[in-house]
Each structure stands twice: as structure tokens, then as C-alpha cells.
């Protein structure tokens, strides 16, 4: 029926448009007709023949033609939107985009374009292998109004990938999943209610703008989805998504930004530059040619250059065949390609075969501006970045000013006329050959470097590249000299702003390791410092002989001690002797009693040197990769000895079943976006040698895989590692997802860029489980042991939590230019509770006050938290003896702490028996509703009698996080649901009288009495709150918590107090006292609103399960003015009470 394609689309579009118009008239709500362009039943990236991986049964041009016919039918039929959907192969989508943009350019009125991909399983990839981020980069040149996902997965499986989409685009996000996964019969069992609730959670978390349903969904599903999300706010589009990065993609994304290291473009897949590769292509040995590409990747290439320009080759055919073949090899296809040719048709042949976002190498103004613009427009339509050579109608630029002028002219045309993103413009200011014997060529290196410096300074956003091998072409055949020249040239060019270069990634010597004489000769040649520099370098090269690479084998370093040899091997990536040297070190049991000592000693020292060289620009990524291989080889040699050591330890314990006797299970992963794993591997080795079962998920690990593995393997810990800065954000994301999935496993954070401060400030607050920064491998065993030991765990976790809280406080106190949102913005982003789904707690058992006179101390004492008691006396044990009762075991303060505790117990017994202290309290419940930031309190007849005024957080938070106010935890008045609020005040009386008996002669006992009275008052508040939850309010009547669990706030509800972080305004106590009449029990407020007696506690009760403790933080002027107005106070008075939390200077 292909001959009916236009008519079918035209007629269906007309019907859809007619229906949309009718529904708009009927409902008054604008409806739209969306024309869908599906994936077709062919794929450009996958061969239908296993035997012929380069074969395709469809071409790019055929797909463009088909999509164009369909698009015209839809547009002529009147659709408002074009939707390219269910994309399992991004190359197909690029053909659709090409067709759409061509039609728009031919005169059709433009309509918005939506693009929706399909992730086929939990791997997070399309059928053709792309990740979600790579997919977004590949299709963003289509300027889609919406980007998203549909089909293949249900909402629960799709969530992490939709979240990834939202973090990768400034477009709106569309999501229409299947009704779950199909059952064994291919049917879908997920009900409309389930689908609706799942998508509602997407909307509530700010992930989506448009939602719907795909396979298995019915009209009932769509109705349930619409009902579920009708009150949800749409996702707010981010203002910046890698705006200062060049974004490229293969199967995986590549982002080149201001802090990206030099990008190696592998050069060996070039028939003009490699005679071996050229021979393979000519002899149709494409599998061998593919191995060359693999070797480039293994040697550190970040982008792969492909060139088929050779007189005896059909360049277009060869390019298409090789690019298609690359698609069958994931290890190569993950890289972006640089399609390289002087023939534009050959360039197009390559572009038509790749689903990723490529670089085109190259175009120029050589044939005039019109030709330049036409080619640039086509390249942009294919969705590629472009390299522009410094040529114009007059020829090649050789001096600095001409290079800059031509690049500036090209930049203006591409950005202003063609519409290129500046980040997609890459200039090659011509790396020309030096040392040719012609004097005018001697400064070509200098002109490139200085032109690069000016281009980067004057053309914002652009990148600079170049073909490095040209620089040394006059020394062809002298490979060691050429490689040294390349290393010296790059060392200086990178500092000037060179971002990338076409270079043999595996053959770059480390700048600092170049032999001193050769280095000086190369430096003199580059900077034209020696008129005889060329002749001197030629003499040097001739002295090395024709086979210099084989002749120069310098083993002098083998004469050093084993530590120096290991370091030398690591820095230079030499693995020839590393096993022998590692064994020599292992055999020295005096120096290295354990194999682990070798890893932590000379091996780690050598890797430290590698890191320093890399960071200073004296070492490139390929060398680092080689160093890592040497490290892994050494560690791999040591592992059997470590395993043997572990087994011997087992034998000593008498346990035969080694596999069942692991101390614990840890899941380790380098997070998504990071490929560095040496540190993580060492941690795994160390843990393994200490009897831990280590599950290493490798590098680039998606969040969902980490979580799924932890659950499947019943892990005791999750360990995240990362070296690059973006890894830190991914760690935060993992922490959030662990919290969302209600996990409670300890989360261990490690890696070079991580820190205790970042962990405390950014990661730990996102996860309620234990979160610990592990400084190095040796600390991992201590941390894991402490977290597994039931006697140590609670104190260890508490110790870390307290330390991290102090770090957070210090951090935020140090921020001088904190950003604060307006109070209107904060209110719009308040905590939004679905009061139908999570209704208010049950009504209290009574309304009004209840007084407790002379409360039974025997009920209070078991609730005492003894830790603050020791704090009063400045007795602080060290981990693991931090808290009560472990403090008694502390080597420094344990004995004194035990003596103090015994004397406290003796004093407490006297107090009880002599009734010298007494506890009285009052609590009450009232009807209440929230009105914006305030809580209105009502009497039994529902008359408004008092108002508690609230303060809301204003310090800027990450997107989708709420700005809390206490009123958020009470049902709003407009919800139609009546809620309640509780108040309390408790005190310990008789303290002053008892202290007077000791004051004249016994300071010790006076302090003891006050410390015990404070503990009794706090314990009384804990006891009453327990009875409120279980008896007086009764919303947790099945609660069964120990005192220790209560002290850690394991219960539902909160009891915040005015003057404390959640409501820092002490004047709110006056409203409490009006309602409680707390003076009746003898608890009074001073002029400064302090409570008398000093051993007193008061607060409000909130029962909703979403209620949580928080700190308002600093407050901006706009909120303070509004707060004063609501309270009927002048601003000056309000500022006085709020002075410690003001974000501005009142003076």
C-alpha cells in the first residue's frame, strides 16, 4: 500500500484536524492534531544479515523520500504538530528530520516537531545501541519543541531514562509509556489506576510536560492519566544544559567543554595517512581495517577519523561500507566519528550511515561563499559539527592575521547566516610542516599556536583542531623524532587553546620523558630559536639509524631498586617487566609482609606521579590508559596471593565453606559518565582480601543497574566511585534514587574529586540511610566493619551524621553570596501533598487542654537520652565509643564517664525517693487548617481563634526540591478537609530549691542537678509525645519503639518549637501560651520569651506522615516584610526577633 502513503496520511490528518476543531468548540480548550511519523520496518544502523554486517536493505535517501511523502500528506491534511516517534534507530529519525527540514525549506509553513525515542530494555539503550543522552544529542539539530520516550517499557521501567532525558535537554519532555510490560501472552495487565499513579509521580517530581499512553493503554488509561496529573505543575525547562559544550555522539555521548582534556582524534583509519590501512581497504579486508579502528580506541582515541580519499578507491562506497561496519562493533561505535574527505559526496556518504552526531572534516571558503553556505546548510541538516579550514578564495592562510581573519569570516557566516551553534564550529588554522629547508616555513608552528590563541579569544564558543602529523612531515621515516615533535607541539598548542587534534593516539611520548637533548632540539625547532635547528635535528635523527624505534632500547632504568623500577614502568606504560618486579617486591617479606603493602606502597606512588603529570598537561590520556594497564597487570599478579592469604585466614577460623563465610557483600561501581576505575578496583581488592564479597559493576554504570544489583545480590553496602567532576552530580542522583526506592543500605562515596565536605553537604542530605565518605582503600575496611558490627553501627552512624552536620553548618555559614528566591517563588514550589491520597491524621481523642500534675518520674526516666548529659560535662568518647553506653569503654574518658554516670544515677535515685524534683505539663489539640504560610486555629464551633504564622525556606535549591514551611504539613483550608494541631509545654520544677542546698559548698552537685533536670524535661517531652502518638491523638497506636529509636526520630510526626530552625521566631510562643494557658502549671515566659523554669520544653505537634524537621535558613527582605504585615508588626520589630536568620544587613 506504499503507493497510498500520501493519501492515507492526508485523509487521516483531515479527520484528526476536524475532530480537534470540534472538541475545541465543545470544550473551549484548544485541541491539536498531531501527525505521527513512525520508525518504519527498516533500520539504517543494523544489518538484516548476520553474515554481512555492512549490508543494509534501505538507504538514507530512500527513507528521506518516504518520510517526505508522509510529511507532506500530514501537513496538507492540516496537522498542527509533527511527531517523529518510537525511534528504535536514531539514523531513521535523522532521515525523518532531514525530510521535514527540507520540506520546510521548500516553502511549507513550519509546525512544531516532537521527537520520541524508544529505550528497549533496562540497559537504557535504543535497539540500535544508543544511550538516551546520545540519542538526545543526535536529534537535537531538529530543534524539537518536545523530546522524550515512548513504547517498549512501562512507566516504572522508563522513569530513570525519562529523568535522564530531562537533564539532557532544554526542550519540553514528552512521555507515553506502555501499560507496563507484556505478560507471557503478549497482553498488558497494568490497570489505568496504576499507570495514572506512576505518571503522576513523574509529574510531581517535575520530570515531564506531556504524558500519555502507548501499547496496552486504553481510553480508560488515558482518562486515569489525565485525572491523576491535572493538578500537577509541568516540568520547568532548565536554563542551561551544556550550553558551553560541543556535544557529539556515537552510541554514547561526548561533551567537550571548557575543562575537558585534549581530545585525541584517532588518525589511523585514513587511507591517505596509513599505507597499511589503505592496503586493507583496497584488498577488501574490512575486518582487518575494523581492527585498526579498535586499536585506536584502545589506545585512547576519543573521536575516530575516517578518510577514504585515494585515487584508486570508490571513496563513497568505501566510506559507507566502513561506517556501516563500525555500527556492528560497539566498542568502536560508541565513539563519535570524524567523517574526513575533500570530496563532499564522500562526506555525505558517511553522514548518511551514522546515527550519532559526527564531525565533518572539512569545508572552507576556497570555492567561494555561496558554495560554503550550501555545504554548511546540508551539514547542519545532517546534524553534524563542522571543521573549517583556514582557506579562502585566495588560498591557504599561512600567517597569523590571515588565519584569524578567514576563521572570523567563516564564523560569522556559519553562526549568523546558516544558524550554526558556535559550539559546533571547529577551526583548523592549518598545522603546516616546519623544518623543510625553506626559511619562511620555520615559524609555521608559532603561527598556528598564536592564531589559535587569538581565535579562542575572539570567536566565542568555537573549538580548534588540527592534523598534528603535518607538523613533522619533513622527518617522515624518523618516527621517534616525529613523535617527540608532536608531543612538544601539543604541549604548547593545548595551552594556547587547541581543543582536539588528529593524532596517532598510541604513539605520543610523555613530554617530560623525552630525552633531554631531543626535547631541546624540538623546542628550538618549534619556536625557531636556532637557525641551524633543522640540521641539528637531522643529524640527531641520522645518528639513531634507520630503524630507530628498534635500536633505541634504553634499559638503564632496570638498574634501580624495585620501587623506582615500578614507578618508571607505571609512568611510561611499560608492562614488560612489571610481573618480575612485582614478584621481587612480594618476595621481600620484611619490607612487604602482605601483597596489599605493595599496592598501597610503590604501585600507588607511581600512579600518583601519573596523576600529577596528567593534571599538568605533560601526559595525555593514552599514556594514562597505558599506565592503568600496567597497574592492573601488577594487581592481577598479586590477587592469587591475596586470595591465598584470605583462604589461610579462613582455615585458621575453622570454616570450610569459604563462599558462605563472607563478612559482607559490597556492590562497587564507577558511576555513569565516568570511566575511571583504578581506585575502585583497589578498594575491591582490599575488601576482598578482608573477606568481603565484592560485586564490581565496572565503569559507566547506570543508576538503575546499581540499585537493581544491590537488591538482587542482597548487598550490605553500595560503593560509588568517580574521578571527573560530573560524577559528583551522578552520585547525588544515585542517593536520591536510593531514597525514592526506600533503600537503607550504607552508601559509601569515594574517588579523587569527592570530599568529605561534598558528601556531607550535597549527598548525605538526599539519603536517609548512612552515607560515608571513604578517604582511601585502607579506610574502607574500617568503615565497612563498623557499619556491619551491630555493637558499633549506631554509634558510628551517629558520629558521622554529627560530623557531617557540623560540616554542613560551617559550609553554609561560609557562603557569602548565597542566592535566595522570592517568597512568591518559594510558595509556588512549596511541599505539595495530595490530601486525597495522603489525608490528615485521625482526629485527636479530645479537643482542648489536658494538664499533667506531678507526673510519675518512673515513666520519664526510661526515656532519658544520656548523651547530652555527658556533653554537659565535656566528656566525649572517640569512635566507636562515642555515645552511651559505649563511652564507658573509651580509653581516655571511659573511666571518668562511668564514675560520673554512677553518681548521676545515685543523685537521680535520691531525687525520686525524696521527691525533690517534680514534672508538670500541659498539652492540647485544636482544629486547624493551613492558609498559605499560616495555620488558622479553630474552636469547637469552627470559629477562627488564633493564627500561627509561618516562615518559608528561601535559599535557592536544586530544581524540583520543595521550599518548606510548617503550614505545608497541615491540610489547606481550600482542600475541604479539617485538620488538627497539637501544643505542649513541660517543665521540671524544684531545681533552684535543690541547687541552693548545694550551691554554697558543692558546685559539682549543683551542676549534676541541673543536668539531670534538663534530661528529665526532655524525657518528659519524649514520653508525652509517645502518648500523643499512641493514645491522645492515636495516629500511631501500633507504634513499638525503643527509647534509642525515639531519640533517632523513627516515629511519625514532629514536634518543632518556636525559636528553633523550623520556625525561628520566638514570638510565636505567645500564641501557644494563649491557647495552652501554660502559666497554670507554673511555666512562664520571660520578656525575652525564654521559658521559666529553665528545664522546660515546648512545641507544636504535627501528625501528617509527610511532616519533617527542617531549617528555614536565611530569610530575604521580601518575606520579612510580608511576615510583619501578616502579624501586624512593624518591620523593625520583626527584624529584631529574626535577626540571626536574616539574609541581609538591617543597617
CA distance 1055 to 1025: 8
Task: Give the number of other CB atoms < 10 A from CB of residue 824.
Answer: 11
ω before 885 within 30° of 0 (cis)? yes
Give the DSSP letter of residue 337: E
Catalytic residue among 305, 340, 392, 674: 674
Known catalytic residue: 660? no
For residue 168, which of 142, 132, 138 has the smallest C-alpha distance?
132
Distances (CA, A) of 1017 to 304, 815, 987, 991, 1007: 71, 36, 6, 11, 15
Cβ distance 319 to 349 under 8 Å?
Answer: yes
CA distance 112 to 114: 7
Q: How many CA atoms lie within 13 A of 92 on its CB side?
A: 28
Cβ distance 320 to 351 under 8 Å?
Answer: no
Helix (H) or strand (E) holding 811, with range, is: helix 793-814
What's the sign of the alpha-carbon dihedral 252, 701, 685, 678? positive
Q: What is the grid cell recorded at 927?
A: 482544629
Buried b vs exposed e over 220-240: b needs ≥16 C-beta within 10 Å? ebbebbeebbeebeebeeeee
Give the DSSP letter of residue 760: I
For residue 381, which of 67, 142, 109 has the smallest C-alpha distance?
142
With H, G, I as helix, E, B as strand and everything else as coil, classify residue 567: helix
Cβ distance 390 to 406 under 8 Å?
Answer: yes
Cβ distance 161 to 119 under 8 Å?
Answer: yes
**Helix, strand, coil percentages for the chain (3-state, nearest 5):** 50, 15, 35
Cβ distance 298 to 319 under 8 Å?
Answer: no
Strands of the 303-307 sheet, one edge to the other = 463-464, 425-428, 385-389, 359-363, 337-340, 303-307, 263-266, 500-503
For residue 276, which of 314, 267, 346 has the smallest C-alpha distance?
267
3-state secondary structure 281-292: HHCCCHHHHHHH
Give the DSSP letter of residue 557: G
For residue 768, which of 785, 782, 787, 747 has the smallest C-alpha distance?
747
CA distance 448 to 456: 12
Known catalytic residue: 233? no
Those residues with Cβ within 8 angstroms of residue 202's Cβ, 6 or more apart along the chain or in another chain: 155, 159, 162, 175, 208, 211
Task: Give the number of other CB atoms < 10 A from CB of residue 151.
Answer: 20
CA distance 862 to 102: 79
CA distance 766 to 761: 9
Using a 10 angstrom Cβ sphere, with 0-12 exposed, 13-18 middle and 19 or more buried, the burial of residue 269 is buried
Cβ distance 299 to 505 under 8 Å?
Answer: yes
Cβ distance 615 to 658 under 8 Å?
Answer: no
Catalytic residue among 245, 676, 829, 1104: 676
Catalytic residue among 138, 727, 1036, 1096: 727
ω before 161 within 30° of 0 (cis)? no
CA distance 853 to 925: 18
With H, G, I as helix, E, B as strand and everything else as coil, classify residue 413: helix
With H, G, I as helix, E, B as strand and everything else as coil, classify residue 265: strand
Known catalytic residue: 1047? no
H runs (alpha helix) in 937-1086: 991-999, 1003-1027, 1043-1047, 1068-1076
Which residues does the annotation mark as catalytic? Answer: 674, 676, 727
Amino acid at each position: 500500500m506504499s503507493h497510498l502513503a500520501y493519501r492515507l496520511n492526508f485523509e487521516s490528518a483531515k479527520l484528526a484536524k476536524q475532530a480537534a476543531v470540534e472538541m475545541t468548540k465543545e470544550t473551549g480548550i484548544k485541541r491539536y492534531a498531531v501527525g505521527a511519523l513512525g520508525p518504519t520496518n527498516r533500520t539504517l544502523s543494523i544489518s538484516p544479515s548476520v553474515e554481512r554486517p555492512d549490508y543494509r536493505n534501505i538507504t538514507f535517501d530512500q527513507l528521506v523520500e518516504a518520510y517526505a511523502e508522509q510529511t507532506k500528506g500530514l501537513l496538507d491534511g492540516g496537522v498542527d504538530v509533527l511527531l517523529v516517534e518510537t525511534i528504535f534507530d536514531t539514523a531513521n529519525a535523522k532521515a525523518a528530520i532531514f525530510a521535514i527540514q527540507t520540506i520546510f525549506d521548500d516553502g511549507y509553513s513550519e509546525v512544531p516537531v516532537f521527537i520520541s525515542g524508544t529505550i528497549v530494555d533496562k540497559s537504557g539503550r535504543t535497539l540500535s545501541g544508543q544511550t538516551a543522552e546520545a540519542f538526545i544529542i543526535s536529534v537535537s539539530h531538529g530543534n524539537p519543541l518536545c523530546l522524550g520516550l515512548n513504547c517498549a517499557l512501562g512507566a516504572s521501567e522508563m522513569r530513570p531514562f525519562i529523568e535522564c532525558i530531562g537533564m539532557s535537554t532544554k526542550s519540553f519532555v514528552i512521555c507515553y509509556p506502555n501499560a507496563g510490560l507484556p505478560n507471557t501472552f503478549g497482553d498488558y495487565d497494568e490497570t489505568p489506576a496504576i499507570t495514572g499513579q506512576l505518571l503522576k509521580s513523574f509529574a510531581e517530581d517535575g520530570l515531564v510536560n506531556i504524558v500519555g499512553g502507548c501499547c496496552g493503554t486504553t481510553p480508560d488509561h488515558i482518562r486515569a492519566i489525565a485525572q491523576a496529573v491535572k493538578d500537577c505543575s509541568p516540568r520547568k525547562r532548565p536554563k542551561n544544559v551544556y550550553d558551553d559544550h560541543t556535544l557529539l555522539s556515537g552510541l554514547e555521548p561526548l561533551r567537550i567543554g571548557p575543562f575537558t582534556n585534549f581530545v585525541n582524534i584517532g588518525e589511523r583509519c585514513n587511507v591517505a595517512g596509513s599505507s597499511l590501512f589503505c592496503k586493507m581497504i583496497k584488498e577488501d579486508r574490512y575486518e582487518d581495517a575494523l581492527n585498526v579502528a579498535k586499536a585506536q580506541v584502545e589506545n585512547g582515541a576519543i573521536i575516530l577519523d575516517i578518510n577514504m580519499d585515494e585515487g584508486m578507491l570508490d571513496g563513497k562506497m568505501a566510506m559507507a561500507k566502513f561506517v556501516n561496519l563500525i555500527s556492528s562493533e560497539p566498542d568502536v561505535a560508541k565513539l563519535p566519528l570524524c567523517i574526513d574527505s575533500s570530496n563532499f559526496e564522500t562526506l555525505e556518504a558517511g553522514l548518511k550511515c551514522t546515527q550519532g552526531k559526527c564531525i565533518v572534516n572539512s569545508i572552507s571558503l576556497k570555492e567561494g561563499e555561496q558554495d560554503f553556505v550550501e555545504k554548511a546548510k546540508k551539514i547542519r541538516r545532517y546534524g553534524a559539527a563542522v571543521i573549517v579550514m583556514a582557506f579562502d578564495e585566495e588560498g591557504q592562510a599561512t600567517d597569523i592575521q590571515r588565519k584569524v581573519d578567514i576563521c572570523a569570516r567563516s564564523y560569522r557566516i556559519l553562526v549568523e547566516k546558516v544558524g550554526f551553534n558556535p559550539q559546533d564550529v571547529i577551526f583548523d588554522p592549518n598545522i603546516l610542516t616546519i623544518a623543510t629547508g625553506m626559511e619562511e616555513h620555520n615559524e609555521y608552528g608559532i603561527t598556528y599556536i598564536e592564531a589559535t590563541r587569538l581565535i579562542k579569544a575572539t570567536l566565542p564558543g568555537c573549538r580548534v583542531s588540527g592534523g598534528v602529523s603535518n607538523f613533522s612531515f619533513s622527518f617522515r621515516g624518523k618516527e621517534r623524532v616525529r613523535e617527540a615533535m608532536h608531543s612538544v607541539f601539543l604541549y604548547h598548542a593545548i595551552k594556547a587553546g587547541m581543543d582536539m587534534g588528529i593524532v596517532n593516539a598510541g604513539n605520543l611520548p610523555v613530554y617530560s620523558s623525552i630525552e633531554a637533548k631531543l626535547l631541546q632540539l624540538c623546542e628550538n625547532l618549534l619556536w625557531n630559536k636556532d637557525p641551524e635547528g633543522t640540521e641539528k635535528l637531522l643529524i640527531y635523527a641520522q645518528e639513531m639509524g634507520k630503524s630507530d624505534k628498534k635500536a633505541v632500547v634504553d634499559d638503564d632504568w632496570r638498574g634501580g631498586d624495585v620501587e623506582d623500577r615500578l614507578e618508571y614502568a607505571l609512568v611510561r606504560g611499560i608492562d614488560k617487566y612489571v610481573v618480575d618486579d612485582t614478584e621481587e617486591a612480594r618476595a621481600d617479606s620484611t619490607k612487604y609482609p602482605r601483597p596489599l603493602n605493595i599496592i598501597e606502597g610503590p604501585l600507588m606512588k607511581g600512579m600518583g606521579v601519573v596523576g600529577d603529570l596528567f593534571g599538568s598537561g605533560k601526559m595525555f590520556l593514552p599514556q594514562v590508559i597505558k599506565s592503568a594497564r600496567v597497574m592492573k597487570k601488577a594487581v592481577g599478579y598479586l590477587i592469587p596471593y591475596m586470595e591465598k592469604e584470605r583462604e589461610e585466614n579462613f582455615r585458621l577460623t575453622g570454616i570450610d565453606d569459604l563462599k558462605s563465610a563472607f563478612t559482607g557483600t559490597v556492590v562497587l561501581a564507577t558511576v555513569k559518565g565516568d570511566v575511571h576505575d583504578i581506585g575502585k578496583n583497589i578498594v575491591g581488592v582490599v575488601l576482598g582480601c578482608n573477606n568481603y564479597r565484592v560485586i564490581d559493576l565496572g565503569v559507566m554504570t547506570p543508576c538503575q543497574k546499581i540499585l537493581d544489583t544491590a537488591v538482587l545480590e542482597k548487598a550490605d553496602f553500595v560503593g560509588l566511585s568517580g574521578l571527573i567532576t560530573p560524577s559528583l552530580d551522578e552520585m547525588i542522583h544515585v542517593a536520591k534514587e536510593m531514597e525514592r526506592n526506600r533503600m537503607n543500605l550504607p552508601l559509601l562515596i569515594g574517588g579523587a574529586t569527592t570530599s568529605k565536605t561534598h558528601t556531607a553537604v550535597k549527598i548525605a542530605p538526599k539519603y536517609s540511610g548512612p552515607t560515608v565518605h571513604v578517604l582511601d582503600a585502607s579506610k574502607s575496611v574500617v568503615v565497612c566493619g563498623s557499619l556491619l558490627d551491630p555493637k558499633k553501627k549506631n554509634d558510628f552512624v551517629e558520629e558521622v551524621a554529627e560530623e557531617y552536620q557540623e560540616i554542613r553548618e560551617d559550609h553554609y555559614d561560609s557562603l557569602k553570596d548565597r542566592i535566595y528566591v522570592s517568597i512568591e517563588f518559594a510558595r509556588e514550589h512549596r511541599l505539595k501533598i495530595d490530601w486525597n491520597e495522603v489525608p490528615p491524621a485521625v482526629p485527636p481523642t479530645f479537643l482542648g487542654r489536658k494538664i499533667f500534675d506531678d507526673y510519675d518520674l518512673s515513666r520519664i526516666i526510661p526515656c532519658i537520652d544520656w548523651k547530652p548529659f555527658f556533653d554537659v560535662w565535656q566528656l566525649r568518647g572517640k569512635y566507636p565509643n562515642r555515645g552511651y553506653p559505649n563511652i564507658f569503654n573509651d580509653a581516655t574518658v571511659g573511666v571518668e564517664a562511668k564514675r560520673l554516670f554512677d553518681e548521676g544515677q545515685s543523685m537521680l535515685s535520691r531525687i525520686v525517693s525524696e521527691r525533690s524534683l517534680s514534672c508538670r505539663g500541659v498539652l492540647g489539640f485544636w482544629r486547624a487548617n493551613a492558609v498559605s504560610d499560616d495555620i488558622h486555629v479553630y474552636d469547637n464551633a469552627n470559629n477562627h481563634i488564633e493564627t500561627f504564622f509561618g516562615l518559608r525556606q528561601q535559599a535557592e535549591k536544586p530544581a524540583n526540591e520543595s521550599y518548606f514551611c510548617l503550614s505545608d504539613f497541615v491540610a489547606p483550608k481550600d482542600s475541604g478537609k479539617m485538620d488538627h494541631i497539637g501544643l505542649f509545654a513541660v517543665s521540671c520544677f524544684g531545681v533552684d530549691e535543690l541547687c541552693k542546698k548545694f550551691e554554697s559548698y558543692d558546685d559539682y552537685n549543683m551542676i549534676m542537678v541541673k543536668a539531670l533536670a534538663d534530661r528529665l524535661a526532655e524525657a518528659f517531652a519524649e514520653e508525652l509525645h509517645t502518648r500523643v502518638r499512641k493514645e491522645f491523638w492515636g495516629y500511631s497506636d501500633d507504634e513499638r519503639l525503643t527509647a534509642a529509636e525515639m531519640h533517632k526520630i523513627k516515629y511519625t510526626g514532629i514536634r518543632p518549637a518556636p525559636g528553633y530552625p523550623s520556625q525561628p521566631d520566638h514570638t510565636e510562643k505567645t500564641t501557644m501560651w494563649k491557647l495552652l494557658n501554660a502559666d497554670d502549671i507554673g511555666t512562664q515566659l520571660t520578656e525575652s520569651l525564654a521559658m521559666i523554669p529553665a528545664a522546660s520544653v515546648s512545641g507544636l505537634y504535627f501528625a501528617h506522615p509527610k511532616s519533617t524537621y527542617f531549617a528555614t535558613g536565611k530569610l530575604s527582605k521580601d518575606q520579612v516584610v510580608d511576615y510583619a504585615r501578616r502579624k501586624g508588626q512593624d518591620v523593625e520589630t520583626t527584624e529584631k526577633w529574626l535577626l540571626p536568620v536574616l539574609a541581609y544587613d538591617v543597617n
